Amino acid sequence: MGFPGTWMTESESVVYRVVPKCACSSIGQIMYYSDHGVFFDGDIHDATSGLHKWSLPHSQGPIERNVKGNKSYAFTCVRNPYGRILSSFFDKIAGIQRNGKRYRGNLVPQLIQKYGIEVGSPEDDFAFDQVKSFRRFLLFARDTIRWRRPMDPDIHWSAMSGHISTFIVNGGRYNNIFFTEKFNEGMQSVLNAVETPVRISLDEVPRFNESEGHGPKRAHPISDYFDDLSRHLVWEIYKKDFQLFKYDFDNPDNKMPTGEVDLGEVHAKLGN
């Protein structure tokens, strides 16, 4: 299986396990800059050089040797499951992608037909009932994760613990797991722990958000989207994420973690 979703600087200063919807664009750009002194011109997900990625055949050997030998500092980043699934809906389902099209071609029409979801369009300024449509999307997300129907779960809404576990199961060890909600603090702790060819000041890093501006803005507080049934579904899908990464299930509006991640617990519970 190897190390899917793993990126590494060409200098091998640091290794990162990507978790979608958890600041991965910013992290990838910071890694790229720390080797080359410039940011990648475009979306870092499109880069095929300047950064080792498991999806690039020439990168697999260096990544595997490094991770299995625990040679470099390895980290990842997590996010409140309520905010993450909402962000997935607004970006991937209601939003228009960078290429000007809907995500995954026929996915949105399928959701409109099978789940009664509405998403609006740029022409009507994305006018639709966000709460009703999001709750129906949540049913669909649960169906993909629980029963792999009507399709396999998408990486943007499958559980963070699933992404993070593949790295451990195949022989990797994390030195740091930090929070999107405390991004600068967490990313600085990574940079403080490693030697990079180029120094980087986080205060001067622009925001890299590949989903910004392509879809509707969230119109309500987070808690408005999650009624009793929705919260039940969220717990069914993301129970392990709430527990391992210390997020507050009882208050959807509290996006901040309630404690630090226990790396020993993460390795023990996700390593089998």
Residue ranges per structural domain of the chain: 85-155+214-238
**Which is it for the CA torsion 241, 6, 208, 130, positive or negative?**
negative
User: What is the pLDDT averaged over residues 134-145?
Assistant: 97
Q: How many Å is the Cα radius of gyration of the chain?
A: 19
Residue 99: the pLDDT is: 84
Q: What number is the average pLDDT over the span 139-160?
A: 95
Instruction: Read off the pLDDT of each residue in 75-92 and give the average, rounded to a whole number.
Output: 96
pLDDT band at 23 (very low <50, low <70, confident <90, very high): very high
- What's the pLDDT tens digit per position in 205-218? 998 876 656 788 99
In tens, the pLDDT along 240-259 reads: 999 999 999 999 999 999 99
Q: Residue 207, class by beta-carbon neighbours within 10 Å (0-12 exposed, 13-18 middle, 19+ buried)? A: exposed
Q: Which residues contact 54 (CB under 8 A, 6 or more apart)?
A: 2, 3, 4, 5, 6, 7, 60, 63
pTM above 0.85, yes or no: yes
Q: Dig out the tokens for 185 from the structure.
A: 């603090």
Structure confidence at residue 210 (pLDDT): 61
Average pLDDT over the chain reads 95
34: closest CA among 54, 16, 57? Answer: 16
Average pLDDT over residues 69-90: 97
Query: Token pair of 44, please?
Result: 């870092």
Percentage of the chain beyond pLDDT 90 is 89
Judge whether 176 and 75 are in contact, CB under 8 Å.
Answer: yes
Residue 3 pLDDT exceeds 80: yes
User: Could you tell me which of 231, 272, 268 has the C-alpha nearest to residue 253?
Assistant: 231
- Asked if the model's pLDDT at residue 60 lies above 70, the reply is yes
How far, in Å, are 12, 66, 187, 244 from residue 60 at the CA level? 13, 10, 25, 29
Q: What is the C-alpha to C-alpha distance for residues 36 and 48, in angstroms, rounded to an integer?
A: 14
In the structure encoding, which two tokens stand for residue 16, read together? 């990162």
Whether 124 has a pLDDT exceeding 80, the answer reads yes
**Residue 22 binned pLDDT confidence (cut-offs 50, 70, 90):** very high
